[in-house]
Chains A and B, each alone.
Chain A
């Protein structure tokens, strides 16, 4: 029997699949949205969002794209899936996304085409925005220089293109490959894992969105979820999903700490300590999380 019926949910509350219904506006996500919106609306040019794995950057990027209605914005989300992108390829793609019908082969021609298109967009009273997720994959100086060049497309008084980077903390290193570009970062947001309070609120939020009418995790169970997930939303989802499944198997309507511990152990999330992520070395913590996620993906 599916745990959905056992807990009377309309849908899975902790699926890691992107689902706008489950979007959770934590305070820091809300702040980030506001700042990014401000950056775009006032043509600041470049804004950067950095955060650890599973902290909700992609969700935030999607959310931003949703908010940039086409009546006022020409927006596009570019998701980097590998690091071998060339500057020409990148430029051509951005031109296409901004509405250049047939980008030329020549880089300079593309720039001209893009400039003219951006002028059109501006004349329509709209703003051009490029959102780039997984921007830590932009690992060459050439690419960074290309972005700097794009940010220079402007008319007197304002820039014609806004770029929002979303990526892991090493994105900061990439930006530093081209110091003038690093200097152009007008808005910077950092997404950190949830606090214990946020974790509890997040769990309740998702249960409700799934049609749950009561908090099926007791207080100790939530504390344990936070401890094992270290407040990383994606890990919270995975762990809670497993807890619900286990509880349904045990015919339990309430999830206690013991169920969380057993699920965490089964997922090999128990790790070597219970200290929250904030207190550990960031690089080491990221490595740990990444390896956990790898293991999980293999298991699933």
Chain B
């Protein structure tokens, strides 16, 4: 037997006698003899922990972790570093290493959780540049995560780097606008406005966000206050007009647009808004005056459809107004809408023309553009062709005499007023066009989302995309003294709970300084920033979480599950049960690993003393389809052990007997059954009773 073996044997003996210090000395000599013996070095570190010699333990764990890391055993390295972190939660370098290793292993959630702890730590110390550096790393790990970007922007601003902060903020705003998420945009402004209190752009943006998110009165109120300071700010007026429109204050909207036009007189969108506001405010005369004035510009801007719409609306308000009828006639002629042309002519009493438009078959054809029309439109040749398309050639080929032979059918004309009755949702269409055109540079909202204030909140689908990392939300405690808390990696459910508890985009970050220093639990502080939710919001978010889970479930692939599963086993072996449970929770999102993960999760929970949780895990596993006989035995056996721990012998016996039915030799179940039967006083349960010697 070599020296090394003798030493190990000696250590074993010493351990059996409970002489840890002597065993440590043995293992120290083993490590001295063979410094590359990682396995025994790890044992030595474990023994140092048992002897409460944490500094020495850390030193050897460090060597082991480094070895694993350098040789590509990242999961093992993670498990060892996690153990080191548990022993000394104040070691910054371990958080860095864990974050990097997890990222390298593709465990994005875990990596971000470690980084987040660092951010909280640096923030508490006021080391904002360091915090930003860590945040940038987080961004590298998960570039799509807007939460991180929010935090980066916020940290820049708080560190006095206003320009950088605002640039990041505007980027995020752009992304949120693309996601069409007014509620999130509003929350974003709520975070950033206090950081940029004098920034008019942000203040206006926040007011506009209020309007888009459904609180138009508040938004308008703020805009009006801002207007006092900057009465000639076109942006202010533009958003004010939108807010007033949303409130149904069309007269106010008209006035705002009028003021705006004085600042930007040629803006086609504002002109359109103004005209529509006039119409809505029951002031069609003013609308007609201005429309006649701007008509050529609209034509030049190829807004014939807009012209048609406005003239039609004016026709409803001013049915006998010759300028409106004239305008409509020429528009219909230009657009080739013969039916409507006849209707408007009939409506205006021009019956001869109506007759002349009908052919023998009763079909009506659009007339040639008259000189009148050309004059009205004042189009150049190119524009005419563009507007009329191929129609002019066809129209020119039609024999005029033929058109004049047949009397025009009267019925369609009589039907026209009914057809032209205002549609119920005409206002809605108007609103949509208004918003879509004038405020195109802001939030491009879908038509159905603008119909009411409440709807603005319904456009929340982006929320789930924004919150992509539930692990991050629950906040792994940073640098805590309470080891039990510090080692826990949140489960998806836990993450979901925090996700509920905070509506801000920056959900998981602690915005307020922590009262505790390194020993503070960030998860608790995270909860303090949360905003109470209404029942409606909670129900909505419940649905979101469900979808979120579905998305997650569909996203995790086999490789990820395998990684989480292996890491779970590594944590379990290191005794880091909370971490192990979190990893098994991740792994079970893949069906292929669900059964094993549930079983191992149950075992971990049972080891932790969470017998109810363990039972739930085992029973969930039993519900899975197509369980192999051996797995069934394993689950029943574990349930039996669980009930034994609870001193529920009868229930335990039931489970063990189920195992025995499948496989009497499984994990010595027969002996266990005999023992229990003996305890319960059930006859025949003892081999001594069933086996005898003669």
A3-43 contacts to B (CB < 8 Å)? 5, 20-21, 23
The minimal Cβ–Cβ distance linking B391 to chain A, given in whole angstroms, is: 84
Q: Which residue of the partner chain, among B12, B685, B694, contacts A85 with CB atoms under 8 Å?
A: B694
Is A271 positioned at the interface, with any CB of B under 8 Å from its CB?
no
A1 touches B8 (CB 8 A): yes
Q: Identify which of B2, B665, B668, B692 contacts A77 (C-beta below 8 A).
A: B692
Residue of B nearest to A66 (CB): B664
Q: Are A76 and B692 in contact (CB under 8 A)?
A: yes
Instruction: Find the B residue at minimum CB distance from A21.
Output: B668
* Bound CA span A251–B8, Å: 14
Report the bound CA distance from A85 to B690 in whole Å: 19
How many Å from the CB of A233 to the closest CB on chain B?
Answer: 16
In the complex, the answer to whether B8 meets A5 with C-beta atoms within 8 Å is yes
User: Interface code A64-82, partner B: CB below 8 Å = 1, 0 otherwise?
Assistant: 0111011100111111111
In the complex, whether A93 has a CB less than 8 A from a CB of chain B is yes
A79 touches B684 (CB 8 A): no
The verdict on A270 contacting chain B, using a C-beta distance below 8 Å, is no
**Which single member of A63, A67, A81 contacts B693 (CB below 8 Å)?**
A81
Task: Report whether over half of chain A's contact residues are helix, strand or loop; otherwise say mixed.
Answer: mixed
Q: How many residues of B contact A (CB 8 A)?
A: 24
Contact with B694, one of A67, A90, A251 (Cβ below 8 angstroms)? A90
Rounded to whole angstroms, the CA-CA distance of A148 and B657 in the bound complex is 34
Q: How far is the CB of A244 from the nearest CB of chain B, in Å?
A: 15
Instruction: State in angstroms the CA–CA spacing of A121 and B488 once bound together.
Output: 56
Distance A78 CA – B694 CA, assembled complex (angstroms)? 7
| A97 to chain B: closest residue by CB | B692
Q: Chain A, 178-197, contact with B by CB distance < 8 Å: what is the 0/1 string? A: 00000000000000000000
B residues less than 8 Å from A76 (CB atoms): 690-692
Specify which chain B residues have a CB less than 8 angstroms from the CB of A65 in the assembled complex: 687, 690-691
> How many A residues touch the partner, as a band?
20 to 34
- In the complex, the answer to whether A21 meets B2 with C-beta atoms within 8 Å is no
Query: Bound complex: CA of A2 vs CA of B10, how far in Å?
Result: 12
Report the nearest B residue to A85, measured CB to CB: B694
Chain B nearest CB, measured from A172 CB (Å): 21
Query: How far is B596's CA from A108's CA once the two chains are assembled, in angstroms?
Result: 59
Q: B382 contacts the other chain (Cβ, under 8 Å)?
A: no
- Tell me if A20 and B692 are in contact (CB < 8 A): no
A69–B670 CA distance with the chains assembled, in angstroms: 9
B693 and A1 contact, CB distance less than 8 A: no
Q: Mark out the residues of chain B between 654 and 694 whose CB falls within 8 Å of any chain A CB in the assembled complex.
A: 657, 660-661, 664-665, 667-668, 670-671, 684-685, 687, 690-694
Residues of B within 8 A of A282 (CB): none
Is B393's CB within 8 Å of the partner chain A?
no
Q: How far is it, in angstroms, between the C-alpha of A82 and the C-alpha of B694 when the chains are bound?
A: 7
B5 within 8 A of A: yes
Kindly report which residue of chain B lies nearest to residue A90, judged by CB atoms: B694
Given contact pairs A1-B8, A66-B660, A251-B2, A75 touches B667 in the complex (Cβ within 8 A): no
A184 to B1, CA, bound (A): 60
| CA distance in complex: A142, B544 (Å) | 82
B9 close to A (CB within 8 Å): yes
Which residues of B are found within 8 Å of A70, using beta-carbon distances?
A: 684-685
Q: How far is the CA of A76 from the CA of B688 in the complex (A)?
A: 10
Residue of B nearest to A84 (CB): B694
Known contacts A76-B692, A93-B692, A93-B694; A21/B667 CB under 8 A: yes
Contact with A89, one of B1, B6, B694 (Cβ below 8 angstroms): B694
A271 to B677, CA, bound (A): 48
- Distance in angstroms between the alpha carbons of A23 and B663 in the assembled complex: 11
Digitize B1-18: 1 where CB-to-A-CB distance is under 8 Å, 0 elsewhere: 110011011001000000
A249 located at the interface, meaning its Cβ lies under 8 Å from any Cβ of chain B in the complex? yes
CB within 8 Å of B: which A81-99 residues: 81-82, 85, 89-90, 93, 96-97
Give B13 Cβ to nearest chain A Cβ, in Å.
10
* Residue numbers in A under 8 Å from B660 (CB-CB): 66, 69
Q: Say yes or no: A79 contacts B665, CB within 8 Å.
A: no
Chain A residues with CB under 8 A of B668 = 20-21
Q: How far is the CA of A264 from the CA of B694 in the complex (A)?
A: 35
Residues of B within 8 A of A67 (CB): 664
Chain B residues within 8 Å of A251, by CB: 2, 5
In the complex, what distance in Å separates the CA atom of A63 from the CA atom of B685?
15
A63, A74, A85: which contacts B664 (Cβ < 8 A)? A63
Give, as a whole number of angstroms, the nearest-CB distance from A101 to chain B: 11
* B residues neighboring A (CB under 8 Å): 1-2, 5-6, 8-9, 12, 657, 660-661, 664-665, 667-668, 670-671, 684-685, 687, 690-694
20 CB contacts below 8 A, A to B, read A1-B9, A5-B8, A20-B665, A20-B668, A20-B670, A21-B665, A63-B665, A65-B687, A66-B665, A67-B664, A69-B657, A69-B660, A69-B661, A69-B664, A71-B657, A77-B690, A78-B692, A78-B694, A79-B694, A82-B694
